Amino acid sequence: MITFQDVLAAHDRIRPFIHRTPVATSRYFDDRFGGALFIKCEHFQKVGAFKARGACNAVRILDDAMAARGVATHSSGNHAQAVAWSARHRGIPSWIVMPTNAPDVKKAAVRGYGATIVECEPTLAAREAALADVVERTGAHAIHPYNDDRVIAGQGTAALELLEDVPDLDIIMAPVGGGGLMSGTAITARAMRADIELIGAEPASADDARRSLATGILQPPPATATIADGLRTALGERTFDVLRSTDVRILTATEESIREAQYLVMERMKMVVEPSATVTLGILLENPALARGKRIGIVTTGGNVDIRKAMHF
């Protein structure tokens, strides 16, 4: 298992290339929940998502000979952009396997970073098979979107910065898809504040992490049409082990609460965020007592929304 020292090393490695994103507050949310919320704004990160952290660490840690072969991954969007951006920044080629139903705005961004997109059917099995084929054909180095120690360590740097800026938190919340962000967050938070409460947030219609931790057995992702498209995946073995060993609790939010939370962030905080980024706030809308009297850190995920489609332009 990776350690807090891996997170610190990752932060040193990627610091010249990423943003140290701000921590935002909102009087509206504080008054509504009766607590104090501190939102780590990873939608302001490079490529518009926290994924830049893990991808940058995974690309930058490669030696020159390995990097020259290029890198490859599979992703529905933000990790795809992050790997493409990291590869371009290092001057190496990249191949990105993306499902046919990935948002057009994210496909366009990936192409904009110079990556080659390989499309596949929208299933995890199809993604992994396509990635294996790309690696065999090109010799590229595979970077898994979450089941990768280098990626997990990079994602943990968001919580590192949050706890440096706001050290006296009672709870840290982050969305859970494949679990890379929550795993890195948990490793970091347990090292810096051993008694902090850790809450992973999932859509109720895509609750494989909740079921996995409840049963002690990795559960497959359900066929889902959740609006939180970045969370349509399942835990990996590495992330499952980290979440179990760090005592992460998983809570879920309905589609209605996720969407309402997204609207509220846009209306009240004037920030563009993806539905995947507001599952945490959706949980608080359904469970306001959770925040009462607490200081809660929330790591957002991204802000890559197709504005024209969302606004019906």
Question: What residue spans of 193-231 are helical by DSSP H?
Answer: 208-215
pLDDT of residue 313: 45
Nearest to 42 by CA among 134, 161, 138: 161
Q: What is the mean pLDDT of residues 106-127?
A: 91
Domain finish residue from 116, 142, 168: 142
Neighbours of 29 (CB within 10 A): 24
pLDDT of residue 77: 80
**Residue 233 in this model has a pLDDT that exceeds 90:** no
Are both 91 and 110 inside the same structural domain?
yes
Range of the domain at 33: 4-49+148-310
* Mean model confidence pLDDT for the chain: 94
Are both 269 and 178 inside the same structural domain?
yes
- pLDDT tens-place string over residues 243-289: 999 999 999 999 999 999 999 999 999 999 999 999 999 999 999 99
- pLDDT tens-place string over residues 106-116: 888 899 999 99
> 102: domain CATH number?
3.40.50.1100
pLDDT of residue 311: 64
Amino acid sitting at position 207: D
Q: Residue 162 and residue 77: Cα distance in Å, rounded?
A: 24
Domain tally, the chain: 2
